[in-house]
A and B are shown apart, each in its own frame.
Chain A
Amino acid sequence: GGIITQTPKFLIGQEGQKLTLKCQQNFNHDTMYWYRQDSGKGLRLIYYSITENDLQKGDLSEGYDASREKKSSFSLTVTSAQKNEMAVFLCASSIRDWGYAEQFFGPGTRLTVL
């Protein structure tokens, strides 16, 4: 088995601030993902990474940067936090970028922008 760790669990920021979320996995999975979930909405893909140093944009990449420094870690940066923004960011990983591969999810980082 394995686990996905996301830090921080709660993130409070100011409007215009750059904020970084981190994700670590010990599954030894190749592919990692960042999703955003707004209240009452489904998960939307922000970025994913097929392997170390690879980055692929999802449907919601504008306003975000990502970094896959090593196989086990995947960071997401909110480049300029929007006032009153509230969302949960979920990190996930899968063995490969196959469409049928199970994705394993972390517990999430809850973002609040004041």
Chain B
Amino acid sequence: GDSVTQTEGPVTVSESESLIINCTYSATSIAYPNLFWYVRYPGEGLQLLLKVITAGQKGSSRGFEATYNKETTSFHLQKASVQESDSAVYYCALGEGAGNTGKLIFGLGTTLQVQP
């Protein structure tokens, strides 16, 4: 079936360190998957961080980057230097590309704690 697996949290890093949160997906019933990273900051609602709809492309936002790798079925989230304000829960999600359902399949979420 279709699924998303991501780094199990919590992940704790110190400010200015680099970060990678792994995300791999299985899209057996989706011909053209779209990939997303959503984030929930403390006290806020879930919001889109970045998305990539074409294999081989990279998305970026707020210093985060993720590359859609069709060969390894991965969409890892990276940041070169984290800040305390990046502390949040990050969700990788898989959506249907050419399909018209808008349905998203989410990973379990990864809690990131950035220490000052």
Contact = CB atoms under 8 A, between A and B. Distances in A.
Interface stretch (A15-23, A70-78, A79-87, A104-112): A104-112
A42 B109 contact: yes
Task: Report the interface size class on chain B.
Answer: 20 to 34
Given A99-B34, A106-B45, A48 B97 contact: no
Q: Is the interface of A mostly helix, strand, loop or mixed?
A: loop
A4 B47 CA distance: 12
A66 interface: no
Interface in A87-111: 90, 92, 94, 96-108
Interface residues of A, number: 29
Nearest to A108: B45
B60 to A, nearest CB: 15
Interface in A25-76: 31, 33, 40-45, 48, 50, 56, 58
A42 B91 contact: yes
Contacts of A43: 46, 91, 104, 106
A41 B109 CA distance: 8
A99 B34 CA distance: 7
A64 B42 CA distance: 29
B101 A48 contact: yes
A41 B3 CA distance: 13
A105 B96 CA distance: 19
Given A31-B102, A44-B106, 14 more contacts: A4-B45, A41-B108, A42-B108, A43-B91, A97-B100, A99-B32, A100-B34, A100-B51, A102-B48, A103-B48, A105-B38, A105-B47, A107-B45, A108-B45
